[in-house]
Structure 1
Amino acid sequence: MITVSGARETARARLTTKRAAWATAVHPEPVLTIPLKPPSEREMLADQRTAERWAQDWAAVTGAAVDWETRSWHSIGRQRIPVRLVLASPDEVASFVGGDELRQWRSLRRRVARLRTVIADDVTRSDEVAAAMRRSAEQLLRYTDDEFEDVLHGTRWLIDNPVRGLRPRQLPIRGVDTKWFSAHRGILSALHRAATGQDGLGIVDSDPLVRLRVLDDALAVGGIAELAAPASALARLRCTPRAVMVFENLESVLALPAWPGAIAIHGSGYAVDVIGSLPWVQQRPVLYWGDLDSNGFAILSRLRTHHSDVRSVLMDQDTLLGYRDMWVREPTPNRGVFAALTGTEERALKRIRDEGDVRLEQERIEWAAALEALRRAWDELG
């Protein structure tokens, strides 16, 4: 027998997973039917009091359609019992669930309606607007009323006023500063794109900075041994290191000692796209050291698409297994296939995945052991 509370949990789960789609659909379909699994005659005879309370609980339900049927049983005669709960609309599902979920549903539905009224002037783009709102539904729910009004106002203003070529600081939207725009840029851009069909706002951004250390004084430009600059500026450097070391971890870059012929670069995340394309880096071999996890290997493989001579350090199965007690779980594993890995690296990645998407961070490896491995790899460059 499905109890009222059990059906409510089923409805709550469905509402949680479907509310974004339901709130943004113009005509949502009938949404939920729950069979109540009524007792058989034998079950009724075994515990008639429980069965009667179960039926009474369903009889007390209001605001939702409960289908009843009459059963004729040899031992207890004709009995009218509930057989299914039919919730024909998202509103009925939310009302049946009640509590915070009902309040959230009503809030989301109101906000979607406001957005649709304010930004969906072009009916030919209503599907795109609905899709953008659906993807942003959880964020819309998290806003306070004041925050939502600010986002609504900002979106409408951006739709009506071209801003291509402006920097965030130049946006003449009352109450909008750079910090606010950065925090809400994702949803503003998504809604603007959906409503206008334009690819991006055209806001001018600062180039990301790449941080590097020159470990050999003879290579320092103007005596500067450490700097952070846009890739366009770094590309103009005239330097000839023997090799370049690229580390995923900034502290590892900063901890390196003086090293003849070496320049070390912080390859944070997918900044390797930029690093691997620098002309003076292209001319020298690269030693790459990243976290031993799926994303570390994804970055390594990506770097090799930009540079023909990249050699990994401490990214092998022996290193992984030697620090088993330091493993943690990788929060968002990369499931991709990385074509540019060597056989040794592929075996390490397979072991990482076979062990349940584990992760060995660079800083878990003793610094003395890391330096020794780096020096061996450096000597093998020839």
Structure 2
Amino acid sequence: MTTGAAWTRPGQVVEALHRKWASGQYLASAAQGHDFESIGVPLKGPAAADVLRHYEHVLAWAQSWAPDRHPQLRIQTKTVGGRGGIPANPVPERVWVDTREHLWSLLGVDAEVELFHALHEQTVQRDPVLAQWMRNQPMKVLRNAGHWPLLVEVACWVREHATTALYLRQIDVPGVDTKFIESNKGILSELLDHSLPHDRIQTGAPRSDFAARYGFRSKPVYIRLRHLGSPSGPFSEFTVRATELTSKPTGIRTVFVLENEVTYLSLPPVPDAIAILGSGYAATQLRHLPWLDSVDLHYWGDIDTHGFAILSQVRASFPHTQSLLMDTATLLAHQEHWGEERSQTLESPRHLSDAEAQLEQSLRDGTYRPHLRLEQERILIRTVVRALDAVRNDDA
């Protein structure tokens, strides 16, 4: 025997239909021109014994399903009782929605449906290909309804123009700027993936890299470097596009790559050497400088899991890279300067020496202290000078 709390209420039916509406299946079916098929929802209601024992509750439940209360529904009933002294009583068994108009009214979505159809008709006139996408993704259209015409115009503009010489800033659609593109690159990517020719999409680039995926020019990679000896030109330090730094600076034999700016700026003199500011994982952009193959290359990062991950990435491009002050002796000599690496990298560096790999694993295992980190700017300057002297003597 069931109880009144378990009997299906009208609100529960509406909630169930709303969930299917939210999935988009109802509106997609309408947009695709499919005939409407009546929707039946079974009801869990009272058993025969409930009529005798809880008649007032059964009556109230049945009245909640009275047809005049639900003009959008067709109520199908069944008879319970009629035996064992229990009078026969009709009770609701299933409800049906027989038309789309009734479904929209029941769910209170008439305005959304009208809005979608209006946007769809506009898009059909502008671009039938995008209108086809809309018919499969109506809820995404509604979520972006406030600026849907602009999204369509951007997608059309990109398809109609060659983009290889352009930055995103040069998309020429009234009302659209780079902030609009960045804020909507998810939905724009879906529209472009659907409407662009396959040869216009760089499938190897993620949708998050909008410029690369759709053939726009990307922001240039810049390299900042500083002469540690006597500069061959008028500048001791400069920043240049990586694509323009195609050859080794004159007279340079040694290159140091560092992550911390103050450390980079405060390095003492080293003849025939330059320092390059790597700025975290930007150090991997050194791959744009093939001439690093012909110099003595040293990488100096923090002694933590991220530092060793960056070292591994640099060495993947330049196998002859030597680490600087990233060893156990340096770590143990600076215990008073130890810090904490809040979040260790999940990356497993593959391009480390045996000693480096052992130290990296010790950091990961918490051998000396959990989440141990020694930042490069905390290493004593006298230790830095000795390390640079050792490099200079080795290069001599």
Q: TM-score w.r.t. structure 2 length?
A: 0.58
Match of 1:111 in 2: 119
Conserved 8 A contact 1:219-1:240: no
Cα distance between partner residues in 2 of 1:186 and 1:87: 35
Q: Counterparts in 2 of 1:190-229, with a 5 A limit?
A: 190-197=190-197, 199-200=200-201, 204-210=216-222, 212=224, 214=226, 216=228, 222-225=234-237, 227=239, 229=240
Q: CA deviation at 1:38?
A: 2.0
Match of 2:336 in 1: none
Conserved 8 A contact 2:261-2:279: yes
Q: What is the identity, as a one-letter code, of the residue corresponding to 1:259? A: L
Cα distance between partner residues in 2 of 1:32 and 1:303: 61
For 2:217, what is the secondary structure of its paired residue? Answer: coil
Match of 2:90 in 1: 80
Equivalences, count: 338
Conserved 8 A contact 2:44-2:93: yes
Q: What is the identity, as a one-letter code, of the residue corresponding to 1:14? A: K
Structure 1 portions without partners, runs of 5+: 315-321, 352-359
For 2:81, what is the secondary structure of its paired residue? Answer: strand
Equivalent of residue 16 in structure 2, options 10, 29, 41: 10
Write the deviation string for residues 74-116 of structure 1: whole angstroms up to 9, x where unpaired.
45432333334556788766543336xx644553454345334
1:230 to 2:241 alignment? yes
Q: Counterparts in 2 of 1:55-94, with a 5 A limit?
A: 55-59=62-66, 60-72=69-81, 74=84, 76-86=86-96
Write the deviation string for residues 201-227 of structure 1: whole angstroms up to 9, x where unpaired.
976425333464648466797535363
Cα distance between partner residues in 1 of 2:172 and 2:179: 14
Conserved 8 A contact 2:78-2:92: yes
C-alpha distance 287-343 of structure 1, shift in aligned 2 (>3 A): same
Q: What is the identity, as a one-letter code, of the residue corresponding to 1:97? A: L
Match of 1:98 in 2: 108
Q: CA deviation at 1:265?
A: 1.1
Conserved 8 A contact 2:48-2:80: no
Conserved 8 A contact 1:213-1:254: no
Higher RCO structure, 1 or 2 (CA under 8 Å, sep 6+): 1
For 2:11, what is the secondary structure of its paired residue? Answer: helix
For 1:77, what is the secondary structure of its paired residue? Answer: coil
Equivalent of residue 140 in structure 2, options 116, 138, 141: 138
Write the deviation string for residues 214-258 of structure 1: whole angstroms up to 9, x where unpaired.
48466797535363x43313454535545423x5xxxx5457662
Conserved 8 A contact 1:208-1:230: yes
Q: What is the identity, as a one-letter code, of the residue corresponding to 1:9? A: E
Match of 2:149 in 1: 149
Match of 1:40 in 2: 47
Cα distance between partner residues in 1 of 2:51 and 2:364: 57
For 1:38, what is the secondary structure of its paired residue? Answer: coil
For 1:54, what is the secondary structure of its paired residue? Answer: helix
Q: CA deviation at 1:37?
A: 2.2
Q: What is the identity, as a one-letter code, of the residue corresponding to 2:63? A: Q
Match of 2:208 in 1: none
Q: CA deviation at 1:371?
A: 4.7
Q: TM-score w.r.t. structure 1 length?
A: 0.60
Match of 1:318 in 2: none
Match of 1:355 in 2: none
Q: What is the identity, as a one-letter code, of the residue corresponding to 2:81? A: S
Write the deviation string for residues 283-333 of structure 1: whole angstroms up to 9, x where unpaired.
62445559979xx9998876665454597979xxxxxxx859x67xx9xx9
Match of 1:265 in 2: 278
Question: Greater Rg, structure 1 or structure 2?
Answer: 2
